[in-house]
Amino acid sequence: MTPPHFMHELITGNDAVDHEAEDVEGGTDEASFNRQQIPTQPATDHFALSLLKSKKMWKLKVSEDGSPWLRSTNNHYGRQVWEFDPELGSLEEIAEVEEARKTFVEKWFKQKHSSDILMRIQFAKENHHHSVLPQVEIKDVDDITEEKVANVLRRAIGFHSSLQEDDGHWPGDNGGPLFLLPGLNIDGGWGLHIEGHSTMFCSVLNYVSLRLLGVNNDEESIEMARIWILDHGGATATPSWGKLWLSVLGAYEWSGNNPLPPELWLLPYILPLYPGKVWCHARMVYLPMSYLHGKRFVGPITPTVLALRDELFTVPYHNIDWNETRNMCPKEYLYCPHTFIQKIIWATIDKIMEPIIMKWPGNKIREKALQRVMEHIHYEDENTQYICLSSVNKMLNMICCWVEDPNSEAFKLHLPRIHDCLWLAEDGMKMNGCNGSQTWDTGFAIQAIVSANLIEEFGQTLKKAHKFLKRSQVLDNAPGDPSHWYRHISKDYTAEGLKVSAFSPWIVSDYTAEGLKVVLTATSWRKDDAVDGLLAIIVNHGLGERDQVSKDEEEMESDVRLLIATVKMGKDVNMFQPGRDFILVKDDVGHNLKFDPVRFFSDLGATCT
């Protein structure tokens, strides 16, 4: 999430507004901090006038192509991206956007979540045929009747239906993690998520991001963040992920990192530390990280990078003992401390293995390992249409493709997919955890309508949603031998986020379960009754043709079989893939175990029971 004083450019595209803050006197309470420490806009009249003169806005576009470098096998159904349109926006609409932006800034520290006002303004204009029922008046509990409850439900679902896209899904924000894009805390730092306390990892990365975007080091928000970082030990105390990003940038030395040897990918699968056994979200992040570490890649050293070397550390850059910084991490953010055995392993790899592998003939092994890693990266990219499992490994993969060949087709195919990860609202531009939660949200919307027994009244809404979910089912397995790429079969699963069958073969058991539950909502848990329920909803209410039902029945049976396949050796259902044997790094629900190098979060996954 971008800081408030950058929202104007992101929302309206106006780059000619002065950012000089007003001098406001006040105390040190939250309200005065809101006025003092966050740079405010210039005088309201001047700002409003420049805003209205710009007449520029962003527009949400759904299920569109827009680039010759975009690939899809389902005609981009469910794709949602924001694009800048210099011709869009009436004076009234731009004024409404500015009012929403200003209101959000005023409530910055009390209300962290946005309300997608920009999207609602756009949909209100495009879906004007949707009428909102009058509000039901209820003075006390005695006024509540079945009829009034039904009218309240009709009003709520009617409004929600007006936010449905023509392709059948409900667009929306899927952001939150602030190591993706920033959101300022009252103490000057940034947290792991929009409601989290400040952490060194997010504070350093977001400070660096703002400086790279051109924010001067004497701006109030930057000064506050720098004070917070230095007071907590400086950037040498940032965890491993932060150290890697700083090293790629050139604001930190690779010798200050614990090793991430790509040679691990050459080891036999039977070994307990083999990365192919690791939870997919950890594995797909370590994969490109090991490539960058193996290459010791450093970007161009610009004046801004040199300035960051001076700003982020408590001692002069040339005096830092990088060997001592490898394991530095503030105790208050050390959720998963390194074990003694783990420290010995990292030190052994760093002091013995790395010097050998970096010189001939050991470098031949390094070259082979880097080639193996890039094979896995290209497989992930190509089989997700360059969206990848998440926006975290997508950006890392993109850098690796550029390091391998800046003019490669792979890098060019990555670029337009950046837009799939971004979302815009009155709080500014942010990066989603993945490319959306479309199937998840659509499944819940269908369940709500069916549970409210309003199927006939919202038949068209259900029909569009049903078609979207059908397009969202993964109909093919990833090419090749899944075990070679440490993957599981994916056919007939409902994939994460938008991840319709065309976009990604990554399976998600809870998304699949919710899609299946749409069919089971009004029926018993017997499979035969579930199929009958599918017939009743689709055929009797005119949501589909009878010849579609047999196929739906087959796909639903496949869903059940594949959900059973994800059951671990016990009682739980895994999120992404079946449990694997002898995992010592991160298990399939993200629990940190003995040899996990990540230290700034723990138990990040969820188990579906």
- The catalytic residues are 510
Q: Which residues of 254-275 are buried (b: 16+ CB within 10 A; e: fewer)?
A: bebbbbbbbbbbeeeeeeeebb
Cα 562 from Cα 584, distance rounded (Å): 26
Cα 232 from Cα 185, distance rounded (Å): 15
Bridge partners for 81 per DSSP = 61
The kind and range of the H/E element at 514 are helix 509-520
Asked if 71 contacts 413 with a C-beta cutoff of 8 angstroms, the reply is: yes
Here the tokens at position 251 are: 């604001």
Residue 129 burial by Cβ neighbours in a 10 Å radius (0-12, 13-18, 19+): exposed
Which residues, 6 or more positions from 257, have their beta carbon under 8 angstroms from its beta carbon?
240, 243, 244, 247, 293, 326
Asked if 118 contacts 171 with a C-beta cutoff of 8 angstroms, the reply is: no
User: How far, in Å, are 18, 55, 100, 224, 272 from residue 22 at the CA level?
Assistant: 11, 25, 21, 17, 59
User: How far, in Å, are 41, 295, 307, 435 from residue 301 at the CA level?
Assistant: 33, 17, 10, 32
Question: Which residue bears the tokens 């010189």?
Answer: 359
**Residue 475 three-state SS:** coil
Instruction: Please provide the DSSP assignment of 272-284 as one string.
Output: TT-GGGS-HHHHH
Which residues, 6 or more positions from 437, have their beta carbon under 8 angstroms from its beta carbon?
172, 174, 497
Angle between helices 91-106 and 44-54 (to 10 degrees): 140
From the list 451, 609, 439, 446, the residue with the least C-alpha distance to 518 is 446
H helix and E strand count, the chain: 22, 6
Rg (CA), the chain: 26
User: How far, in Å, are 72, 76, 396, 417 from residue 67 at the CA level?
Assistant: 11, 12, 22, 10
Angle at 230 between CA 228 and CA 234, to 5 degrees: 120
